[in-house]
A and B are shown apart, each in its own frame.
Chain A
Amino acid sequence: MAYLHTANIISDFPPSHHHHTSAGPFVQHQITPYTNNGGTILGITGEDFVVLAGDTRHSEGYSINSRTEKKVHRLGKESSLVLATVGFGADALDVVETMKRAVEDYKFHHNKEMSPPAAAQLLMTILYSNRFFPKYAYCILVGIHAGKGVLYSYDVVGSYSKSGERRAAAGAASDLIVPFLDNQVELKNQYVPYAWEEEIPVQPLPMEKVRRLVKDAFTSATERHIQVGDGLQIITVAASGVGWGVSEEMYELKKD
C-alpha cells in the first residue's frame, strides 16, 4: 500500500510564492513563474452534442480566491467552439484569449467560422510554440463538426489526438474522475451479465444521462478533493439541423 502524503500545516503556512533554498550562509529567495489554481474540467461527447463542464473554485495553497471563476469559455458568439482550461490560472486565461482572438480573426479573414478540427490544430500550435516555457494550462476543446459533437484534449505542450476523444477530464481531480468515466462512458470492466466473455457494447450516451454523469462526477470529486467545489458550470453544445445551440447550466457544489 502506498504511503499517504501530508502537508505540514504549520511550517508551510501561510503558503507563499517563493521557496527558500539554503545555499551556504546565504538564503536565496526564489520565485517560480507558476502556481496551481486548482479546479477540474470534464467533457463528454454524445452522438450530436457535447457537454463541457468545470467547477468554479479558484484557489491557491489552502485559500479560496474566488467561488465563481468560470473555466469554460465560448470562443465566439457565432461559433460552436468551447474551450475549458485548468492549471495555472494566468496561463489558462492567456491561452483562452489567444484562441478567442484567432477565432475572431479567422472570421474576419474568411467570412466563415473556424471548424473544430482547424481550431484543434491551432491550439496545438499555440501550446507547442511555448515548448520551452510552457503555458501550464490543460485544455479540453469541443465543438460541433459535420453535425457531430467533437472533443479534443491536450497536455500542456500541445499533444492531442487528431481523431478526437469520446471523453476527457483534466485538472486537480482528474485522477478521481477518469476511472469513473472509463467505467461509465467507455463501459470498461462491464460485461453482458452471465455471458462472461462478452463486453457490453459502447454506445453514444443520451444527453440527460451525460448531464447526470457530469454532476455525479463533480459532487463526488468535491467530497474527496479539497480544490474542487463551490459551483459547477455545464455547457452543452448540441447540433440542430445545419447549426447548433449552446446552453449553460450553473449547479451548486459544496463550499467546504
Chain B
Amino acid sequence: MGGFDFSNYARNAALQKQGFPQPQATSTGTTIVGCIFDGGVVIAADTRATSGEIVAEKNCQKLHYITPNIWCAGAGTAADTEFVTALISSQLELHSLSTGRKPRVVTCMTLVKQHLFRHQGHLGAYLVVAGVDPTGINLFTVHAHGSTDKLPYVTMGSGSLAAMSIFESQWQKNLTQEDAVKLCAEAILAGIFNDLGSGSNVNVGIITAEKTTIKRNFIIPNERVPKEQSYRFPRGTTAILKEQMISRAELRKYITIVDMTGKGTVEGDAMEVDA
C-alpha cells in the first residue's frame, strides 16, 4: 500500500514507555549563517560538535557539499545533516546528468524540504542551503519539519540568536564579497563566544557564478595554551598482568597474506610484522 510508514515510531514510543531509553545522537550544537552579496553568497559555521555537555569534536566541518555550486551548512543531529545532504547531493547529480542541465538551488531546497516533511521532524536536520545557479543567487533555510525561508541573511542552530544579533545590528544592502565574509565570520564569532553549544573555529564558504571557495579554519580564535608539564610516562610504568608470546612462525596460523599480482605467491616469511 502507498503512504509513508510510521509504525517504527509507535514501536519506539512503546519501548520508551517501558523504560527502554532511546539512543541519542551527536548534535552539532552549532552556529551556522548565510548572507548574500552582490555577485554571490557566503555561508559560515563554527566547528564544535557536542554530545550533551561534552565536546565531541573540536574542529568538525559543518559545510556540506551538494554540487560544486550548491553547499549546505547543517545544524541539529549530526548524522541527519550528513546523510540528508549526501542523499540530496546524489539525487541532484543524477538529475543533472539525466536533464543535461546545471543543478539549481531551488531544486535542492525543494528535495530537502519534501524529504524532511515526509519524516515529520524525526530527522533532526536544520540546514542553510546556499548556491549560485543559472537563475541567480539563492539562500534558503530549511527546518527539520520541512518549512523553508528565503532571506538575504539567515542563521540557524543554538547560536542562531547570537549570530542574528550581529546581522540585525550590522547588515546593510549591496554588500561586497569582502564585507559579506567579514559579517558572516563576525556572526559565527558571536555564536562561538556567547553560545555554549558553539565553539572553536570559523569555517567559511564563498559561492559565486565563477567558482566556490571553501576556507577551512578561516579564523582560529581559540588555540589551546601549551600544557604546564609533560605527561609522558617512563617505559615500563604500566603493569603487565598476563604475557603471551606468539612466534613469527606461529603467526601463520592466524593470518596469511597472499600476493596476487601475478609474480607468484609470496611466502609468509616476507610478510611484514611489527617488531
Contacts and interface: CB of A to CB of B under 8 A. Distances in A.
**A touching B, CB within 8 angstroms:** yes
Interface of A: 3-10, 13-14, 59, 61-64, 172, 184, 189-191, 193-194, 196-197, 200, 209, 211-213, 215-216, 219, 223-227, 254-256
A8 B52 contact: no
Of A8, A184, A255, most buried by chain B (CB within 10 Å of CB) is A8
Interface stretch (B12-20, B89-97, B168-176, B229-237): B229-237
Contacts of B26: 4, 6
Contacts of B193: 255-256
A7 B239 contact: no
B228 A212 contact: yes
A2 B229 CA distance: 32
B164 to A, nearest CB: 13
B238 interface: yes
A215 B144 contact: no
B150 interface: no
Given A4-B24, A9-B126, A190-B233, 9 more contacts: A62-B197, A63-B194, A63-B195, A184-B231, A216-B227, A219-B225, A226-B29, A256-B192, A256-B198
B205 interface: no
Contacts of A10: 75-76, 124, 126, 143-144
A226 B53 contact: yes
Given A5-B24, A193-B236, A223-B224, A172 B30 contact: no
Interface of B: 23-27, 29-30, 48, 50-56, 58, 75-77, 124, 126, 143-144, 157-158, 161, 192-200, 221-222, 224-225, 227-229, 231, 233-240
A9 B27 contact: yes
A197 B239 contact: yes
Given A3-B23, A6-B27, A226 B228 contact: no
Of B58, B124, B196, B234, most buried by chain A (CB within 10 Å of CB) is B196
Given A62-B158, A63-B194, A8 B124 contact: yes
Of A5, A200, A224, most buried by chain B (CB within 10 Å of CB) is A5
Nearest to A172: B53
12 contacts: A3-B23, A4-B26, A4-B56, A6-B77, A7-B197, A8-B76, A62-B158, A194-B236, A219-B224, A227-B196, A254-B224, A256-B221
A191 B24 CA distance: 39
Given A62-B158, A254-B224, A5 B52 contact: yes
Contact of B25 (A4, A13, A63): A4
